[in-house]
Amino acid sequence: MSQDFDLFQVPESHELLRSTVRSLAEKEIAPHAAAVDEEARFPQEAFDALAANDLHAVHVAEEYGGVGADALATVIVIEEVARVCGSSSLIPAVNKLGSMPVILSGSEELKRRYLGALARNEGMFSYCLSEPEAGSDAASMKTRAVRDGDHWVLNGAKCWITNAGVSEFYTVMAVTDPEKRSRGISAFVVEKSDPGVSFGPKERKLGIKGSPTRTVNLDNVRIPADRIIGAEGTGFGTAMRTLDHTRVTIAAQAIGIAQGALDHAVDYVRQRHQFGRPIADFQGVQFMLADMGMKLEAARQLTYAAAARSERGDADLTGFGAAAKCFASDAAMEITTDAVQLLGGYGYTRDFPLERMMRDAKITQIYEGTNQIQRIVLSRQLLK
């Protein structure tokens, strides 16, 4: 009987990984998080610390030179980094997002070349799906890829691209047959150094200010034909299957941010005295903490269940990935908002990290598909 209960426990190896990443994050990432946000600069210290410890792209399989972390271990790494700095957690998260199309559909040659380069830290990976007029309706994209002899020539603009400019490698979804809508979209690897690639100005955002978000412009970008990921016309399916896996990593980012906020709030209410006693003694405060803890644990359990499905490649991952991302990000927004409330005026200032966490949490309800899109994805699974 007890063995059955063990099935619901995070393995000891994963808890060990958590404590290793937590102590690294507290020592080398947390001290810079406020400045990274304030100056809206790339978290170079976090990048260096993660890369030095092989934590920048843990999902890359050992056969391609990576450390071969499973989906749950990847979630734990992202969660622990996000607990101290949301921007920095986008390093391991977006490296997975950008490279997942290659993992799912790429040729052996592409996998060896690009996953190897990612594992060796020769460059980060970004994912280019959205366009100015094609956000939630991703299949309405206009970026074109036209075959020309042994090459493809790409033209268009991809927007809201996380880590654009700092990444060396980009998976780009582009139309190869305009008559076929989603079945006429193909995926490609584009390199930053390919002539014709340029970047728009950094978006001025509410949160995750340390992670640059820019438009990637493709102006007659000529790439070798073997940079297509999978067969022509399969790019939209690859893009969607990628998001099935990586929405779980956004859920991880959300629960990490929420855990950071809850930890700070708990410390604060123990120390803050009003009416002659710590405010933690008041039941109104206790009930708020209980709700925050309950939502966070429910979000974590759903995220880990989705990670297990991602690892196994289960058929119900699409619904689980959408549900985990949606539930965890909504929970993170509520928990960080309540954490600010518990600190009162102090929570509203930049002297404490809570307002940053609240601003960082907001994006998790928006990117990798808005939570309205997640509800569409999930209800389609229920109704089909």
Show the site string, 298-327: x = touches ligand CAA by CB under 6 A, - = not.
--------------------x---------
Residue number, nearest CB to ligand CAA:
369
CA torsion 230-231-236-239 (nearest 10°) is 0
- Single out the residue of 75, 82, 208, 243 in contact with ligand CAA (rule: CB under 6 A): 243
**96 versus 295: smaller Cβ distance to ligand CAA:** 96
- Single out the residue of 37, 338, 355, 368 in contact with ligand CAA (rule: CB under 6 A): 368
Provide the 3-class DSSP secondary structure of residue 58: coil
**201 versus 284: smaller Cβ distance to ligand CAA:** 201
* C-alpha–C-alpha distance, residues 105 and 95, integer Å: 16
- Single out the residue of 61, 139, 289, 298 in contact with ligand CAA (rule: CB under 6 A): 139
Q: Which residue has the tokens 């102590």?
A: 23
Kindly give, in sequence order, each residue whose CB lies less than 8 Å from that of residue 258, ignoring residues fewer than 6 positions away: 292, 295, 296, 299, 328, 331, 332, 335, 336, 357, 361
| Cα radius of gyration rounded to whole Å, the chain | 21
Segment contacting ligand CAA (CB under 6 A): 55-63, 289-297, 298-306, 368-376?
Answer: 368-376
Question: Which parts of 204-233 interact with ligand CAA (CB under 6 A)?
Answer: none
Is position 136 an interface residue for ligand CAA (rule: CB under 6 A)? Answer: yes
* C-alpha–C-alpha distance, residues 230 and 102, integer Å: 8
Q: Would you put residue 69 in left (φ > 0), alpha (ψ -120 to 50) or beta?
A: beta
- Single out the residue of 18, 183, 205, 272 in contact with ligand CAA (rule: CB under 6 A): 183
Show the site string, 100-129: x = touches ligand CAA by CB under 6 A, - = not.
---------------------------x-x
- Single out the residue of 53, 155, 182, 341 in contact with ligand CAA (rule: CB under 6 A): 182
* C-alpha–C-alpha distance, residues 31 and 117, integer Å: 29
- Name which of 266, 257, 263 is nearest 332 in CA terms: 257
* C-alpha–C-alpha distance, residues 151 and 221, integer Å: 10
Is position 138 an interface residue for ligand CAA (rule: CB under 6 A)? Answer: yes
Active site residues: 368
Q: Which residues bind ligand CAA (CB under 6 A)?
A: 127, 129-130, 136-139, 160-162, 182-183, 236-237, 240-241, 243-244, 318, 367-369, 373, 376-377
